[in-house]
């Protein structure tokens, strides 16, 4: 067995999700509960009945890649040859980490709090790793100065997710511009930015920065999992400069040959319909209802600017213990914040993908358990003081 794989821990998010009961309120996994529009599948089925379901080229269907490039119209990623179709966005992340960084000479910087997959892949592949844990409550959750200072002489790739999983915070245009200008002025081999944009279509603010708008060494990853409620389709893509694409496509071909032809056709129908933002209005209303409910609970929370998560403070160093008690005693699944980075110790990540009344009830149960926990701590403190006296 490969000892590097054995040394990397599994997914605590999936472990807690797997322990839910039929009665549980699930604020844990980031999986949309909306049903996808069946018309895209019907059109893809009709096309498949006529043309078959053969392999596509390794890099993916040309028409889909052209549609993706045209939809985003990033100045340095504007052509079909800049896009590789992948089996979900996580394969795209793997390909970028595996191909852009030379483990013998270079390292990767991961901006946290963040979904654990970036760190896990780097650890499993033996890629030297730097981690920068930022304060998600700060006015600028993506501190440009801190990020630039954390980039070392061996850093070849910086990884960040905006809108963020777990916090929903969004990087601003000004921060993107500041980082881009400084990196371009460094000289020497380029530092690539891996911008995970899987929640790009779910934003609730106007000031949204995208590295691919201004920085020529951007690698973007995205998928249809969140925007169109299609996590099971496993259809994503990676956009990158043309000079690195041959290595990425070579690795992609070895790993998966190609993404599923039927899934690619479904994706093409979605892009043709210009439907990537078809669920944004629902999530906007969902977010408003959740924030209103949170204000009534008096829980401290980080206001999300995108995605479909909200982090709430439960105020204990044993965040996993609180999450386990929440599941066992209150029948609610939520994810300990320190899974995503040390700065979120004492916080829970909750998702608001389910029916609003159910989400609100789950958050009320979190608040009730926190009150009970706080009262227990206060009672114990009083008892200790009386004993000492």
Rg (CA), the chain: 22
Judged against a pLDDT cut of 90, whether residue 375 lies above it is answered with no
Q: Residue 274's pLDDT is what?
A: 97
Q: What pLDDT, in 10s, does the model give residues 41-90?
A: 999 999 999 999 999 999 999 999 999 999 999 999 999 999 999 999 99
Q: Read off the pLDDT band of 3 (50, 70, 90).
A: confident
Confidence band for 2, pLDDT divided at 50, 70 and 90: confident
Band the pLDDT of 367: cuts 50, 70, 90.
very high
| Whether pLDDT at 293 is above 90 | yes
Sign of CA dihedral 134, 140, 142, 148: negative
Task: Please say whether the beta carbons of 239 and 74 come within 8 A.
Answer: yes
- The percentage of the chain sitting over the pLDDT mark of 90, rounded to a whole number, equals 88
Q: DSSP states of 226-260 as a string?
A: TTTT-GGG--EEEE--TTTHHHHHHHHHHHHSS--
Answer yes or no: is pLDDT of 389 > 70.
Answer: no
- What band does 13 get if pLDDT is binned at 50, 70 and 90? confident
Name the residue with higher pLDDT: 298 or 367.
367
Handedness of CA 135, 138, 141, 147 (dihedral sign): negative
Nearest to 205 by CA among 79, 305, 308: 305
Provide mean pLDDT across the span 323-337: 96
**Per-residue model confidence as pLDDT tens digits over 210-235:** 999 999 999 999 999 999 999 999 99
Alpha-carbon dihedral angle through residues 309, 314, 316, 317, given to the nearest 10 degrees:
10
Instruction: Indicate the average pLDDT of the chain.
Output: 95
Residue ranges and CATH numbers for the domains of the chain are 3-30+279-388 (3.90.1150.10), 38-272 (3.40.640.10)
Q: Would you put residue 18 in left (φ > 0), alpha (ψ -120 to 50) or beta?
A: alpha
Q: CA-CA distance, 289 to 265, in Å (whole number)?
A: 35
> In 3-state terms, what secondary structure has residue 79?
coil
Are 298 and 314 spatial neighbours (Cβ–Cβ below 8 Å)?
no
Torsion-angle region of residue 127: left (phi > 0), alpha (psi -120 to 50) or beta? beta
**Given this model, what pLDDT does residue 382 score?**
73
Per-residue pLDDT, averaged over 383-389, amounts to 70
Confidence of residue 17 (pLDDT cuts 50, 70, 90): confident
Average pLDDT of the residues in 14-22: 88
Task: Please tell me the predicted confidence (pLDDT) of residue 251.
Answer: 97
Q: Taking the C-alpha atoms of 37, 39, 44 and 49 in order, what is their torsion angle to the nearest 10 degrees?
A: 140
Residue 380 has pLDDT above 80, yes or no: no
At residue 340 the predicted structure's pLDDT band, cuts being 50, 70 and 90, is very high
Helix (H, G, I), strand (E, B) or coil at 335: strand
When pLDDT is averaged across residues 151-165 and rounded to a whole number, the result is 98
How far is the C-alpha of 289 from the C-alpha of 141, rounded, in Å?
24
Q: What pLDDT band is residue 334 in, cutting at 50, 70 and 90?
A: very high
In this predicted structure, the answer to whether residue 317 has a pLDDT above a threshold of 90 is no
Contact 275, 70 (CB under 8 A): no
């Amino acid at each position: 067995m490969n000892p590097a794989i054995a040394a990397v821990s599994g997914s605590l998010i999936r472990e807690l999700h797997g322990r839910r009961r039929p009665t549980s309120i699930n604020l844990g996994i980031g999986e949309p509960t909306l049903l996808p529009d069946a018309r895209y599948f019907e059109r893809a089925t009709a096309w498949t009945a006529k043309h078959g379901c053969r392999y596509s080229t390794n890099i993916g269907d040309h028409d889909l890649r052209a549609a993706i490039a045209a939809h985003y119209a990033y100045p340095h990623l504007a052509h079909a040859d800049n896009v590789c179709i992948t089996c979900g966005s996580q394969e795209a992340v793997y390909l970028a980490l595996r191909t852009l960084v030379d483990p013998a000479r270079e390292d990767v910087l991961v901006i946290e709090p963040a979904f654990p997959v970036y760190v896990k892949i780097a650890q499993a592949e033996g890629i030297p790793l730097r981690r920068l844990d930022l304060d998600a409550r700060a006015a600028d959750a993506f501190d440009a100065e801190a990020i630039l200072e954390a980039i070392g002489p061996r850093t070849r790739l910086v990884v960040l997710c905006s809108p963020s999983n777990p916090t929903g915070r969004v990087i601003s245009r000004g921060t993107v511009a500041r980082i881009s200008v400084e990196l371009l002025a460094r000289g020497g081999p380029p530092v690539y930015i891996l911008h995970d944009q899987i929640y790009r279509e779910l934003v609730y603010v106007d000031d949204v920065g995208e590295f691919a708008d201004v920085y020529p060494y951007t690698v973007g990853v995205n998928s249809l999992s969140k925007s169109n409620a299609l996590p099971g389709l496993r259809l994503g893509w990676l956009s990158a400069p043309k000079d690195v694409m041959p290595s990425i496509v070579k690795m992609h071909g070895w790993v998966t040959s190609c993404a599923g032809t039927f899934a690619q056709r479904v994706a093409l129908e979605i892009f043709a319909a210009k439907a990537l933002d078809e669920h944004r209005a629902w999530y906007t209303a969902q977010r408003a209802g959740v924030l209103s409910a949170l204000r009534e609970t008096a829980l401290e929370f980080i206001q999300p600017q995108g995605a479909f998560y909200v982090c709430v403070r439960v105020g204990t160093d044993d965040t996993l213990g609180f999450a386990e008690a929440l599941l066992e005693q209150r029948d609610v699944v939520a994810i300990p914040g320190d899974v995503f980075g040390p700065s979120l110790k004492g916080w829970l990540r909750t998702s608001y993908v389910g029916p609003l009344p159910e989400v609100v009830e789950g958050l009320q149960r979190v608040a009730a358990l926190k009150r009970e926990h706080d009262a227990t701590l206060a009672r114990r403190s009083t008892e200790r003081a009386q004993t000492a006296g």
